[in-house]
Structure 1
């Protein structure tokens, strides 16, 4: 869904449904006046790669059918028990991760930490670096990874809103 200048919507989930919802903030100067769009995709529409004990599904960007005006990529990754997922984080980008299930160990930018299911992790970097997520030997780990610029190259909605308030007060 791309909302243009605003959105109002409702959702209905059937029993057993799980979901993850995130709103990406694009450059307002390009998107604020764009016509809203909506598309439905089926699970089989998303490309899946099997590599080194990991299943990697592209959700946003790259070879995914979902292409946004925001500079973002997103993956759904399942790491087999005792295995590890590795990816290079490009210079100027950060990774946010939501651990859906299974405990894991995260190593990025010279920091290592244990992460439990339902924890949200942010790996901020100002230079390229390797992210390594290892699944515990006791079971698989599933996570959602999101790559975004560490610093937006344009004003964010919050910055624009603050600037407008300051100008109104003058």
Structure 2
């Protein structure tokens, strides 16, 4: 059994547009200090926000599948395939299947906050495909009631978002009331959990907003929350059927 908690202060930090866009990274790039390293086929995870608004200028991607999820406010996205700006509002998501190459840019409007998460498909296949992307509105994602909270499926059963990366599911779990929250897990999976809101305790360990939990080889998780909470949960397979990018580069132990 394994549970690791990485606080915001121990995550990697970043910035764009002369500091107008700030980031903390629960999973950073290999050269960055802080946070966790790539796990399974979950390669990178950044939590970004801007009080004033800012621009991440045009830059290229290949191979990886890149999901942006709007936590609050608005984003605007440009890519070289469609050559136009498109808007994303709170609760909307986008996935770029970068394939054999695409360039894009992002504007974060004032007060905007989002996740950008990179998934690692089988690059020997994805690099041979044409790049594609999908924008999906918040109302299109299925939402179900839990015993404590509501679970919105971003990737997984019933979601219109499709990716090639195997074994991934993504949940936005909101409206968790103070008290006990629990969820059944699969022991053959790795769960990466970002605390978007709330404070509480897991066993004897305290957790707080912007903390990051890595849960392995557990069949259940129980958290005692002291306040209303919101969690963003990614499940990835403990064992991947192909060689991941990190494995091919020998980047991680």
TM-score range, shorter chain: 0.7 to 0.9
Change in 2 beyond 3 A, CA 1:83/1:94: same
Q: Which residue of the other structure, out of 219, 232, 237, is the alignment partner of 1:144? A: 232
The CA RMSD measured in Å over matched residues stands at 2.0
Q: Aligned with 2:125: secondary structure?
A: helix
Higher relative contact order, structure no. (Cα contacts within 8 Å, ≥ 6 residues apart): 1
1:85 counterpart = 2:173? no
Instruction: Find the partner of 1:67 among 159, 162, 167.
Output: 162
More strand by share: 2
- In the alignment, the residues of structure 2 paired with residue 134 and residue 46 of structure 1 have an alpha-carbon distance, to the nearest angstrom, of 27
TM-score (norm: length of structure 2): 0.56
The aligned residue for residue 249 of structure 2 is 161
- After TM superposition, where is structure 1 displaced by more than 6 Å over at least 4 residues in a row? none
More helix by share: 1
Match of 2:211 in 1: 119
Aligned-pair distance for 1:81? Answer: 2.6
Aligned residue number for residue 34 of structure 1: 129
Please tell me whether the aligned partners of residues 81 and 140 of structure 1 are also in contact (alpha carbons under 8 angstroms): yes
Q: Which runs of 5+ in 2 are unaligned?
A: 1-95
Task: Report the count of equivalent residues.
Answer: 155
Matched, 1:99 2:99: no
TM-superposed CA distance for 1:67, in Å, is 1.9
The structural deviation recorded for 1:162 is: 4.3
Query: Which residue matches 1:12?
Result: 107
